Chains A and B, each alone.
Chain A
Amino acid sequence: MTAIKGTKSKVLVDEFDFSGDTASVTVTVGMTEEDATTLQATGAEYEPILPSLKIEQNGYLVSGSDMESELYDRLGVAGSYVAALFDTDVVGCPAYIQETFNAQMNIQAPAKSLMTLNGAWGMGRGGHRGIRIFDGVIDATGAQAAVDLGSAGSDGGIAFLFVQAITGSASGAAIKVQSSATEGGTYADEGTFTFSALGAYAVALTGTVNRWLRLNTTGLGGATDFTVVAIVCVNDVTQ
């Protein structure tokens, strides 16, 4: 067994990759529980109620970086997509994503050390766990390599696209999420991202999602290329 270095992680906030400003990221997945102890029970009994996801990041105040201003702008403002990815050298690495707001910022400026910027994202609207199916530059229409989820899902899910850079300008660029039962089989459309600006986007997936997943760009919207990260979360498979 080879444990993974902490450097093989990423933290994404909408169109920003703050990995280069972040020293550590912590993901806490919790479950609330309620006492369900009954008569004749031999011990306390509890039932799970609702899951929660919390992402915290500790980092540095880097000269010229957007992190301080972007975190401040998101303080208490709902609607940001934050993702923490782990074991990022692996193609289908796990990722935790939530739609949230910045709940806390802590800036420290010690005279004898580096300035630090620590923060915590609010628990927002629940959270998701998925796998990354693409991370790179798309400069032409067509399909990307597929990633194996290991199992089909029967009950939909959700996909996220973090659009980090656009060369030129995109108007109505379209990227589909597709799935197939086999790597070389026929791919069915599961959802389409349509965008014209940087940012993070989500699209719901419904019904059966086959085990092999890929992106297929149907239109660059006039752009030369764009840099994106795509994460797919499938119910009862990844979350």
Chain B
Amino acid sequence: MKYVVTDKGPLDRLPPGTDVTKLYPEATLHRLAKEGYVKTIGKAEKEAKRDSNQGNKIESSGR
């Protein structure tokens, strides 16, 4: 799971979209997420992306 700056930023001069997973301690990331300054991009989002791609793969298989 990774954390990125939301559109509420910039945060600490980091623009929205910056991956801050390794920049802050876990407790700080949770606080910032609660305040809306960072959001998680994690497993659930990755699975949703994979599922939406599967249809394309089947269509492109040519069967």
Residues of A at the B interface (CB closer than 8 Å) are: 150-155, 181, 207-208, 211, 236-237
Q: Is the interface of A mostly helix, strand, loop or mixed?
A: loop
- A208-B35, A208-B37 are known contacts. Are A152 and B28 too (CB-CB below 8 A)? no
Counting contact residues on chain B (CB < 8 A from A), the size range is 10 to 19
Question: B13 contacts which chain A residues (CB < 8 A)?
Answer: 150-151, 236-237
Contact (Cβ within 8 A) B12 A151? yes
The 10 closest A-B pairs by CB, nearest first: A151-B10, A236-B12, A151-B13, A152-B11, A154-B12, A208-B35, A181-B8, A154-B11, A153-B12, A154-B32
A181 to chain B, nearest CB (A): 6
Contacts A236-B12, A237-B12, A237-B13; A152 near B37 (Cβ below 8 A): yes
9 A-B residue pairings within 8 Å (CB atoms) = A150-B10, A150-B13, A151-B9, A151-B10, A151-B14, A152-B10, A154-B12, A181-B36, A208-B31
Q: Shortest CB–CB separation between residue A42 and chain B, in angstroms?
A: 28
Q: With A208-B35, A208-B37 in contact, is A154–B10 under 8 Å at CB?
A: no
Question: Which residues of A are found within 8 Å of B12, using beta-carbon distances?
Answer: 151-155, 236-237
Interface flags for B11-54 (1: CB within 8 Å of A; 0: not) read 11110000000001000100110011100000000000000000
